[in-house]
Amino acid sequence: MKIVIGGNELKLNHDDVAAASSAINELITGIKKVSVEKNRPQLYFTALILLYAKSKETIDAITPSALKYMLDLIEETEKARQAVAQEMQENLQA
């Protein structure tokens, strides 16, 4: 998945997107359930607004170029880890 933040295109890891989406969906579903149980629809919308505000605050605190750099570095590290694991597997089979 790719997303543009502050004019920088960020490539997100598919597995991370799936895991994060699942966790966020569980959180939102839980908040919605409590909102319905307590008959307080404003609780659901308040939570959504706070999630947005906190996310924006956190992302804004990191410059887009720094965020891109960090995600690129994580991707490179993961590729290196996979290459080492593959090489070790091949050496064990030899």
Mean pLDDT to the nearest integer, 12-26: 93
Domains of the chain, residue spans: 2-93
Q: Which two tokens stand for residue 86?
A: 């593959």
pLDDT at residue 24, as a whole number: 96
Q: Cβ(20)–Cβ(14) under 8 Å? A: no
Better-scored residue on pLDDT, 25 or 59: 25
- CA-nearest of 83, 56, 89, 72 to 13 is 72
- CA-nearest of 24, 15, 34 to 54 is 24
25 class by beta-carbon count within 10 Å (0-12 exposed, 13-18 middle, 19+ buried) = exposed
Type and span of the H or E element at 2: strand 2-5
pLDDT at residue 68, as a whole number: 81
Name the pLDDT band for 49 (thresholds 50, 70, 90): very high
Mean pLDDT to the nearest integer, 34-52: 96
Question: Is the pLDDT at 2 greater than 80, yes or no?
Answer: yes
Question: Is the pLDDT at 65 greater than 90, yes or no?
Answer: no
The amino acid sitting at 94 is A
